[in-house]
Structure 1
Amino acid sequence: MRRLLFSIPLAFLAACADDGAETPPPVRPVMSVVATAASPLDIGFAGTVQPQVSTPMGFRILGRLVSRPAEVGDLVARGQQLAAIDPTSLELAVRAAEADLAGARAQLADAESTAARTRVLRAGDAASQSVLEQADLGRASAQASVAKAEAALAKAREQLSYSTISADYDAVVTSVDAEVGQIVSAGETILTIARPDLRDAVVDVPLSAGTVAPGEAFSVALQVAPDVTVTGTAREVAPQADPLTRTFRVRIALADPPDNFRLGATITAYRRQAGPKTITLPLTALREEEGRSYVFVVDEAKGEVARREITVASRTGALFVPAGGVEEGERVVTAGVGALTDGQKVRLSAGENR
């Protein structure tokens, strides 16, 4: 009996000891990439084809849209009507101004006749000098009334011309923003036109890629057909970085682009001169906590990861450039960094061991 009572506490203690033992963290499968430094000549900047000249078109006055024959994609010639508002009130204003001008001219003719008769009477000493001066004053007043009526008529006709908008140059319609029957205000965009012959490749370049100077040469390729390339030169470089991406917008003028470089097409622009090499990593490799940035570097010999604090130099789309902290040739985890801990055992995905 004593031996039985003594064995129960020992079994109980052994069970408690087993329950308190720490379970080692699981070996997590991860995806990774080997950090590789490349020069700006090798790095492409994604962007789109955009027009060099683009004009939002709108009316100068308030009105109801009654016509908009232009549609998106239409090619329009210079002077071609693009849209019109109801001109009824403007036409009535023109007719009223024409009537006022006709009345003013009639008064001028009567004043000139009166002045001519008074001058004859004055020559025969049949009218006083004051009467002659009054007649001349009436004629001058009638002349001023005619000038005023002519100006009012010109203004009314100018207002009537505002009831339509026409293309200022040969263009393509890139967007439509109003429909027939809509009440549009002065300056509201009805549609947008652009010159199809002058095109830019617009890209965002991080500061880590080096300064882009106006006139610098680029090679631009379509993303859907990388073998189709054209040359271009930096036409415009933003003087200030974007506050969110910390990149500088560059507009590259394309030299005789083929037809498949359509407006809105996605492209990749490559610098045609070498520069300092930089490491670029996907944003999925970045872990940010309490204002600090980290990456997890894989120690392939130990099969574990080490958390390493870094500074982000720039971000572009789904990529970022670390300002030190990662050496070329090191393997960096690119997926699942939110669930990793420093020193955790990991297993590389199939095909990544080498």
Structure 2
Amino acid sequence: MSNKIIFSLLIVLLLSGCFENDSGTIVQKQPPLVRLVTIQTDGKVLHSLSGTIRARYETPIAFQVGGRILTRDIDAGQHVASGQLLFSLDPRDLNETVNAARAQLASADAALATARSELERQKKLVAENLISQFEIERFELAERAADSQRDAAKASLKQAQIARAYAELQTKQSGILIEVSGEPGQVVSIGQTVAVLAQDGKRDVEVFLPDSSRPPHAGKAKLDDGNEVDLELREIAGAADPLSRTWRARYRITSINNNLPLGSIVQVQLSSDTDEKDLLVVPLGALDERGDGARIWRVIDGHAEPVSIQVVGLDAEQARIRAELPAETRIIALGTHLLTPGMAVRTQEQ
């Protein structure tokens, strides 16, 4: 009895790989057809991405003294000239500080005059042998102390006068105010940013690149008018952004073009030479990502097998990867999301 059951199961398994067509003929199912492409080596990493025109120098503007903002004479987006008034603080507290410092100086002047007069009187007494020389030294020390206190009072007055002058915030350079946050009535502390000035002059292009790629040293930017300008790497962020996992890089525009509108978007092409032999180029359709890392698929003895890879860069049609595969390896070009390890496939060259 058991032999009959085993035989029946074998018949079912054999028939499971077949189907019946319209004419009633039993036809065996064929493995899916896949197209193969040859991966190529590539010594050029190319990034095509958007960049933003930024000023070479973007300066936060802040008061050097604290207080309540009395007036705001500018708006965001406004062009300002060097020395132009931006904000002013309520000067009452600063004026009182100046008055107090002036009173301290007057007191110090009076104390010094008294000390000098007393010293002269004591010298006359010494000449008449009415007091000892030791007493003279004590009055000389008092005169020097009064003189030092007067110098300190003068310095305090000057410092208070400088602080009062800081109540008017003026620009040191000309440029465009790309951000204004200070408002009349707002109380600000020393060094608190109330505006950001994009200085006139040289312009940069700011881009953000994937964490897996270091910014190349050169590239080109296509402007709105269709012209292209050469780019040269100027600075790189010290570390990748922990949230977006991107590198911020700024490229100087080598040609003289200081009239580019700030914040405008340009198309950037960045490239760099590399000698890494494992840098390969594959079609975008060959990439497969299912949450456990990128991979591609190759065919071994008629069966699909995955290969783990690292994606270096992407463009409109191709991906640049690193993988432990020799050049000229044949891989599956499309439909990789439907494959499973060891799945039987038929191949077709592309």
TM class, shorter-length: 0.5 to 0.7
Does the 8 Å CA contact 1:203/1:249 hold for their aligned counterparts? yes
How many residue pairs align between the two structures? 291
Seen in structure 2, the aligned counterparts of structure 1 residues 92 and 60 have a Cα distance that, compared at 3 Å, is: same
| 1:69 maps to amino acid | D
In the other structure, the counterpart of 1:221 is 222
| 2:54 maps to amino acid | Q
Does the 8 Å CA contact 1:218/1:269 hold for their aligned counterparts? yes
SS of the residue aligned with 1:323?
strand
Q: 1:190 aligns with which of 191, 194, 202?
A: 194
In the other structure, the counterpart of 1:231 is 230
Bigger shift: residues 240-249 or 288-297: 288-297
In the other structure, the counterpart of 2:345 is none
SS of the residue aligned with 1:190?
strand
Does the 8 Å CA contact 1:314/1:320 hold for their aligned counterparts? no
1:50-89 map, 5 Å:
50-89=54-93
**Residue 281 (structure 2) pairs with residue 267 (structure 1):** no
Deviation, structure 1 residue 88: 0.9
Does the 8 Å CA contact 2:81/2:174 hold for their aligned counterparts? yes
In the other structure, the counterpart of 2:151 is 147
**Residue 257 (structure 2) pairs with residue 258 (structure 1):** yes
Residue deviations 1:50-99 (CA, integer Å, cap 9, x gap): 12211111224432111221222233333333222212111101111101
In the other structure, the counterpart of 2:129 is 125
1:273-352 map, 5 Å:
278-279=281-282, 281=284, 288-293=289-294, 311=309, 313-314=311-312, 321=319, 323=321, 332=334
In the other structure, the counterpart of 2:34 is none
Please give the alpha-carbon distance, in whole angstroms, between the structure 2 residues aligned to 1:204 and 1:319. 21
In the other structure, the counterpart of 2:203 is 199
Deviation, structure 1 residue 289: 3.9
SS of the residue aligned with 1:72?
coil
Deviation, structure 1 residue 271: 3.7
Deviation, structure 1 residue 234: 1.0
| 1:253 maps to amino acid | R
Please give the alpha-carbon distance, in whole angstroms, between the structure 1 residues aligned to 2:177 and 2:330. 48
Please give the alpha-carbon distance, in whole angstroms, between the structure 1 residues aligned to 2:55 and 2:214. 26
Seen in structure 2, the aligned counterparts of structure 1 residues 247 and 330 have a Cα distance that, compared at 3 Å, is: farther
| 1:92 maps to amino acid | E
Please give the alpha-carbon distance, in whole angstroms, between the structure 2 residues aligned to 1:259 and 1:329. 49
| 1:269 maps to amino acid | V
Q: TM-score, normalised by structure 2?
A: 0.66
SS of the residue aligned with 2:156?
helix
In the other structure, the counterpart of 1:12 is none
1:21-100 map, 5 Å:
40=44, 43-100=47-104
Please give the alpha-carbon distance, in whole angstroms, between the structure 2 residues aligned to 1:248 and 1:77. 34
In the other structure, the counterpart of 2:140 is 136
Does the 8 Å CA contact 2:202/2:258 hold for their aligned counterparts? no
| 1:235 maps to amino acid | R
Deviation, structure 1 residue 156: 2.1
Cα RMSD of the aligned pairs, angstroms, is 4.1
Bigger shift: residues 70-79 or 104-113: 70-79
Deviation, structure 1 residue 330: 7.2
| 2:133 maps to amino acid | Q
Deviation, structure 1 residue 116: 1.8
Please give the alpha-carbon distance, in whole angstroms, between the structure 1 residues aligned to 2:237 and 2:318. 20
| 2:149 maps to amino acid | S
Please give the alpha-carbon distance, in whole angstroms, between the structure 2 residues aligned to 1:79 and 1:170. 8
Does the 8 Å CA contact 2:122/2:136 hold for their aligned counterparts? yes
- Give me the identity figure in percent: 28
SS of the residue aligned with 1:138?
helix
Deviation, structure 1 residue 294: 7.0
Deviation, structure 1 residue 132: 3.1
Seen in structure 2, the aligned counterparts of structure 1 residues 140 and 157 have a Cα distance that, compared at 3 Å, is: same
Deviation, structure 1 residue 274: 5.8
Deviation, structure 1 residue 182: 1.3
Please give the alpha-carbon distance, in whole angstroms, between the structure 2 residues aligned to 1:120 and 1:258. 79
